Amino acid sequence: MTIFKIVGLVLAALTAVLVLRAYRPELAVQAAIAAGVVLLLIAVTELSGVMDMIDAIVAKYGLSSEHIKVVLKVIGIAYLAQFAAQTCRDANEGAIASKVELVGRILIITVAVPVVFSILDVLGTLLNAL
């Protein structure tokens, strides 16, 4: 199971980071970032099955694939911004972390606005039909 790999990796990385922090503090942050990137790559490989299920649902119910893509982009931006911000906090750079979160929110808005306008167009059409 993947969770056992993740737990093993996290425990090994945690041990390495703690030892490095005691003897070579400048390398501890790099080790933590490397462990985070490996964990992120493991998570991304697990998403392939989810993408197949989403494609099946889109095909089955005739949903707009563009809207699903936007939802997935928003989720991806949110997770990556959170990951980057937390990495900044681990490096004691709270100011940069706050800016990363702000930029992530702005990017989410820019990606989501076309879908909001599309929904408003549909609602306007429905209201005019009444």
* Range of the structural domain that residue 84 is part of: 64-130
pLDDT in the model for residue 89: 92
The HSE-up count of residue 19 (CA atoms within 13 Å, CB side) is 7
Considering 22, 41, 61, which residue would you say is the last residue of a domain?
61
pLDDT in the model for residue 129: 82
Residues 82 and 55 in one domain: no
Cβ-based neighbours of 69, under 8 Å, separated by 6 or more:
none
pLDDT in the model for residue 90: 85
- Structure pTM? 0.75
Residues 52 and 4 in one domain: yes
Cite the beta strand spans of the chain per DSSP E: none
Residues 107 and 93 in one domain: yes
- Work out the percent of the chain whose per-residue pLDDT is above 90: 48
End-to-end CA distance of the chain: 54
- The whole-number average pLDDT for the span 96-113 is 96
pLDDT in the model for residue 45: 86
What is the per-residue pLDDT across 30-73, written as a single tens digit (0 to 9) for each? Answer: 999 899 899 989 988 888 788 888 888 888 888 777 888 898 89
pLDDT in the model for residue 73: 92
Average pLDDT, the chain: 89
Residues 38 and 68 in one domain: no
- The total of structural domains in the chain comes to 2
